[in-house]
Structure 1
Amino acid sequence: MTTILCLQELTSEQQEAVRQAAPEASIIFGRKPETEDQAFREAEIILGWDARVKSIALQEGAKLRWVQSWSSGIDSLPLDLLEERGIMLTDASGVHARSVSETAVAMMLGLSRGIAAAVRNQRTGLWESPDTLAEMNGGTVAIVGAGEIGREVARIARAFDMRVIAVRRSGGPMPEADVVYETSRLDDALREADYVVNILPLTGETQHLFHAERFAVMKRTAYFINVGRGATVRTEDLVEALNKGMIAGAGLDVFEQEPLPADHPLWAMPNVILTPHNAGGLTVRNGERLVKLFLSNLELYLSGHAADLRNLVDYKKRY
């Protein structure tokens, strides 16, 4: 009998949907201390993640064959060990596209329209406007890592009559963009952009992709938004670029070190918006989309079509 271990909190309706999708399986719901270690050893399918997956379910003799991640980013998982054990990993790519894209655009508006500065001034009753304000309308946005989230950002940007540059590893077409550049042309995109939205996953190729030289080619009036992965940016170089006025500001949801230390200089910068890695947070709709993805993949897995699972991670590419 197949054992399914659901570590994420599901509604009663969602739990029933899982039961109906796998009527012959043994299903355990809940991430609780009292969940017995034996459940991790017996689980063939795990929805979600916690430390006991690595310490128990990935050890010799365990029955794990497939993990459905609750997150789009999987760089924190033990990918080498998962690959070594021959375990399939599917991520939640695309599930958080709406919420992450809304955060990115909110940061773009908050910075360009002076809202971030106004919120800071509100605390002290300071009636002051930034020296310059910008408009998104008619501007150019470069979306670096133009997958599902990037497509959503592009769709919203088009509503602001923006020119959209998509930067993709494949260089393949994206209908929502005006032009697509391969990653080899990243610097060209940065030179043209009024807003740079980084949505890249963390891989060997993308680590510290944004560094001093990259910020140097950006417009001094441009804004840098990071809703991808923190380590794709060399933080000290970003801080220096902001201090020297090499770029106009930044909106950051992700960081090399999380939580961001309380004494980090980014906290005090007036031209920076910081959010605590919650752009892809578990909204009700995100939860619904995740369960829908899991159920779709579960049907494929149980019917013998595991190779067709959606969002199957390529361990060589690390995404």
Structure 2
Amino acid sequence: MHKRKLVITHSLDQTLIDKIANVIPEWEIVVGKEKSSWENAVKDAEIVAGWKTELEALCLKEPTPLRWVQSWSAGVNSMPLEKLSRNKIMLTSANGVHAYPISETIFAFMLGLTRKIHTYVNNQQTKTWDHSNLKSEMHRKTVGIIGVGEIGKETAKIAKAFSMKVIGIRYSGKSERYVDEMYRPEELNLILPRCDYLVVTLPLTADTRRLFRREQFELMKPSSFFINIGRGEVVNESDLIAALQAGEIAGAGLDVFATEPLSSESPLWGMENVIITPHTSGSTEHYHQRLIETIFLPNLKDYMAGKPPAINAVDYSKGY
């Protein structure tokens, strides 16, 4: 008898595999990070957890038995959304897995830039004892969070420990705990002059691509800091560079870029008022466990009960 098949394109601890097997004891479960682990199995998979570029050719040939894809990342913009939608394949993302590690990176950027930690680290390399004109503090300042999802909500919560005023922007405009004022995307320019820190957590969609251009940076305070942990293409990178060079903003913390890896020729590398991380803000020792236990397993139970997975279901019309 032909077994229903789940393919997971990442390596998991046996304890997590056992938890999955308890929900689908009659299924064949194929687990492994290397392509050789799943290449032959994926064409017959009903569920795939963890999307890779090669999968499009292997398991999206029509007709396909694939019914559900669990993304291993929060962003799904690099996936073949049109093909998945056309084949009526359900898609769920990893939103929520990253709230703790990414919010920690956001505050590492904010504190590092405010207290000039990066400057002092550079001074340490040359054994330079220099005050470096340190004068700013973060308490009681205003942070604008552009995209109040799980990451934005955690960021707002932590901001309150610094007695910060929190302004948020989300598509629905719905109020949120720890956010003092909430606005809709079309009101972005109204809040920019008020923010001491601007934190971008947005996914990449047709509406968010190059949302931040020279016009937006010119509206920001010269003392403000720009933090982007969403997607690089949400920002016009050349306009950001120009704004930093012109002193229109004080600095930037950047984890994502329009082209990755960031070119060695980019002026961003050499800017003293910029902190760069290589798209690692979501990295955490608990990643697989959180994804499986808080998202995939509850969704799998729904799926086996004949219901569509409800947690982080992607709306193809919106792109997230």
- TM-score bracket, normalised by the shorter chain, equals over 0.9
CA contact (8 A) 2:224 2:251 kept: yes
Structure-2 residue corresponding to 1:175: 177
Structure-2 residue corresponding to 1:312: 313
Structure 2 counterpart of 1:91, one-letter code = S
Equivalent runs, 1:1-319 vs 2, <5 Å: 1-35=3-37, 37-281=39-283, 283-292=284-293, 293-306=295-308, 308-319=309-320
Percent of residue pairs identical = 44
Q: Which runs of 5+ in 2 are unaligned?
A: none
User: What per-residue deviation string (whole Å, max 9, x for no partner) do you get for residues 169-205 of structure 1?
Assistant: 1111111111111112111221100000000110000
User: What per-residue deviation string (whole Å, max 9, x for no partner) do you get for residues 158-179 of structure 1?
Assistant: 0000000011111111111111
Structure 1 counterpart of 2:316, one-letter code = Y
Corresponding residue SS for 1:210: coil
Greater shift in the superposed pair: 99-108 or 57-66: 57-66
| 1-structure distance, mates of 2:28, 2:133 | 63
| 1-structure distance, mates of 2:199, 2:48 | 33
CA contact (8 A) 2:147 2:201 kept: yes
CA contact (8 A) 1:223 1:249 kept: yes
Corresponding residue SS for 1:284: coil
| 1-structure distance, mates of 2:193, 2:35 | 52
Corresponding residue SS for 1:35: helix
Corresponding residue SS for 2:30: strand
Structure 1 counterpart of 2:232, one-letter code = G
CA contact (8 A) 2:255 2:281 kept: yes
User: What per-residue deviation string (whole Å, max 9, x for no partner) do you get for residues 34-57 of structure 1?
Assistant: 235441111000110223311111
| 1-structure distance, mates of 2:135, 2:85 | 49
Structure 2 counterpart of 1:159, one-letter code = A
CA contact (8 A) 1:253 1:274 kept: yes
Could you tell me how far 1:131 is from its partner in structure 2? 2.5
CA contact (8 A) 2:227 2:252 kept: yes
How many residue pairs get aligned? The number is: 317
Greater shift in the superposed pair: 29-38 or 19-28: 29-38
User: CA 1:286 to 1:33, structure 2 compared with 1: closer, same or farther past 3 Å?
Assistant: closer
Corresponding residue SS for 1:205: coil
Could you tell me how far 1:132 is from its partner in structure 2? 4.3
| 2-structure distance, mates of 1:264, 1:36 | 38
Structure 2 counterpart of 1:59, one-letter code = K
CA contact (8 A) 1:167 1:189 kept: no
CA contact (8 A) 1:157 1:164 kept: yes
Could you tell me how far 1:84 is from its partner in structure 2? 1.4
CA contact (8 A) 2:9 2:38 kept: no
CA contact (8 A) 1:44 1:63 kept: yes
User: CA 1:63 to 1:161, structure 2 compared with 1: closer, same or farther past 3 Å?
Assistant: same
| 1-structure distance, mates of 2:35, 2:173 | 47
Corresponding residue SS for 2:313: coil
Corresponding residue SS for 2:198: strand
Structure 1 counterpart of 2:172, one-letter code = S
TM-score (norm. length: structure 2): 0.96
User: What per-residue deviation string (whole Å, max 9, x for no partner) do you get for residues 58-100 of structure 1?
Assistant: 1123311100001001111111111111111100011111111
Structure 2 counterpart of 1:227, one-letter code = I
| 2-structure distance, mates of 1:85, 1:61 | 8
TM-score (norm. length: structure 1): 0.97
Structure 2 counterpart of 1:284, one-letter code = E
CA contact (8 A) 1:56 1:62 kept: no
Structure 1 counterpart of 2:261, one-letter code = P
| 1-structure distance, mates of 2:17, 2:273 | 45
| 2-structure distance, mates of 1:193, 1:212 | 16
| 1-structure distance, mates of 2:47, 2:74 | 18
Structure 1 counterpart of 2:287, one-letter code = N
Q: CA RMSD in A?
A: 1.1
CA contact (8 A) 1:191 1:218 kept: yes
Q: Which runs of 5+ in 1 are unaligned?
A: none
| 2-structure distance, mates of 1:50, 1:198 | 26
